[in-house]
Structures are given as structure tokens and as C-alpha cells.
A and B are shown apart, each in its own frame.
Chain A
């Protein structure tokens, strides 16, 4: 196992255990690690990977697979996938029966409610950093703002919004 794979394993197993409130909360830290610290890709590459992962079906953490692929091909995919999904899954298994035992305790609800602002703050930070990297021109910023507005105001399926964004990009509007 070479240094890159060890770094990937370390980073993603840590992120796995920090992802309270779902995958999007750890995007800023993932970006900081793979772009700023390890220089495996640019911020634009990272946001492109995020976009590709959003366009694919399944759980929203498929960006992990892509980062592994980009950095170290198939061994990278294997290592990042195991590191990202392994530790949190082990923890789920360990906590499962304890949790069912304590399900009526009031402190459980307190902890749950106390972690809500953290989740909101982290998702907002993800949105800011991903947008900063992907909305580099006025045209692209307009696409991002338009998509945000449409999905905020309506229940339109996200896939239509992504398709519209891709088509608008293809038309060249994003270059202005």
C-alpha cells in the first residue's frame, strides 16, 4: 500500500465518522483535504465531481468513489469506498441494539435537537464552497441562482434541474 492510498484511507475513514447529519456536511472538509492540503485536484475539478455524483442515482455520497478513482484508479475506489462506508457502518451496527434499549430516554431527543443547527450550518458551508468553485462566471452564477430558486420554490425533480443546467451550459451562456 503506497502513501497516497494510506492518505485516502485516513482521510475518508475520519470523514466517515464525522458525517453527522448526512454526507453533505463533510463536503467542505473533503474539499479542504483533497484540494488545499493534498493538491490532488483543483476546486473546479472537485465541484465537477460533485456535479457528476449528483447526476448519478443512489446515495448522495458517490463523490467519494469519484475522488478515489481520480486520485488512484481502481485501488483508490476500493480504499475510499471501504474507508467512507466501513467505519460509520460498524458504528451503526454497534449502536443499533443499545439505541433500541434507550429509545424512550429524554436525553436522546435533546442530543438530536442539539445537533440540528450544526447540520444546517455545515450544509450551508458546503453550498457556499461548492458554489464558489463552480460559479466562476456571471452566466454560471445565474444558472446556480436560477436552479436554487426553482428547487426552493417548487417540488420539481432534481434531475430535470441538472439536465437544464447542463443544456444551458452547452448553449454557451455560462461563458459570459
Chain B
């Protein structure tokens, strides 16, 4: 690739999506996003459709990670709102969850229907075990960067003990431990 094409690539004008394009864009994303939607979202929004440049994307994602709710869910709302106001936000969100909702309900119906079939039961048990394995490895990957930081590690452990072992309700646990975590990070910058 020549420097010229790189330069034109970077300067290529951004396009403003219509409400309909927001819907179809996120619909496609929902359909292909197995495992994780986020890397695919960046490819579509920044590189393919050029709705946002890389910096704008990162900025919006920062906001979405900070707020409660799935990152990609919040991102679809923020992008829709940014371009087309409330109708845009609704179009993006519905686009994103329409296909996965239909597929997951179809899987649920199959599961319910064949629940008493021994072979299928064994298959679903294996699937569930594999899914829990994926969750374990995700937790481990998130844990690794904390291993050399004793204070955040202790806070993470307190959350684990409160929720997994003591089975305490989430809201009071968060109200006590989350401010503690922020306070300690503020007072003890590592």
C-alpha cells in the first residue's frame, strides 16, 4: 500500500448514518457477533461504514464501559443518539438485539422440547459445562493484571467472598465495597 492511499484512507470523509442504516448496521452486527461483538463493532463503525473515527470510537467506548449495562448495548445507544437522537438510539438498540433474541428463543424452545431426551440432555449438560469453562477463563484473564497489586486484589476477593460464598445481595454489597474501592485507588495510587 502506498503512503498516498494511507493518507486518503485516514482523511476519508465520515458518513452520517440514517436511522434505517443504524438499524441494519447493528442488525448485521448482532447476527455475526459470536463470542464478542466489540471487535467486530469497531471494524464496522470505524473501518467499514466510517460513522466515527478511531478517537471518537474510543471516547464513546470509554463512556460505555463506565456506565452500567453491556458495553456494546450502551455503545449502540450512544451512537444512535449521537447521529439521530432518540429514534436513532431505539433503532440501533433494536437492531442489535433483534436477531440474537429470536435465535436464543428458538434454542430455548428446542431445549424445552427435548429436555427429556437423554442424548440431548447429555449434550446440553456438556454445552453448559463448556460455557462455564469460558466464564472461568474470562475471570482468570481479568485476574492476571491484578495479581501484582495486593490492594485491588483484596477488594476483588471481598466481592468474590460476599457474592459467591456468602451469597449476599448485590446492591448492598456494591454500596459498601464500590466506594471503598474508589477511595483506596484514590488514596493509594499504584
Contact = CB atoms under 8 A, between A and B. Distances in A.
Interface of A: 14-24, 26, 28-29, 32, 36, 44, 47-62, 65-66, 69-70, 77, 81, 85, 88-89, 91-93, 95-96, 99-100, 103, 108, 110-131, 133-136, 140-141, 143-152, 157-159, 161-162, 164-175
Given A89-B93, A121-B158, A19 B70 contact: yes
Interface residues of B, number: 88
A110 to B, nearest CB: 5
5 contacts: A52-B104, A125-B159, A134-B129, A151-B134, A171-B122
B129 A147 contact: yes
B84 to A, nearest CB: 12
Nearest to B143: A120
B74 interface: yes
Given A58-B100, A88-B69, A124-B143, A168 B126 contact: yes
Contacts, number: 358
Q: Which 7 residue pairs across A and B have the least CB separation, nearest first? A: A169-B126, A165-B130, A58-B100, A121-B159, A147-B133, A88-B69, A114-B182
Given A24-B138, A115-B178, A130-B135, 7 more contacts: A29-B170, A66-B104, A125-B160, A133-B132, A134-B125, A152-B136, A165-B133
Contact of A118 (B93, B100, B138, B181): B181
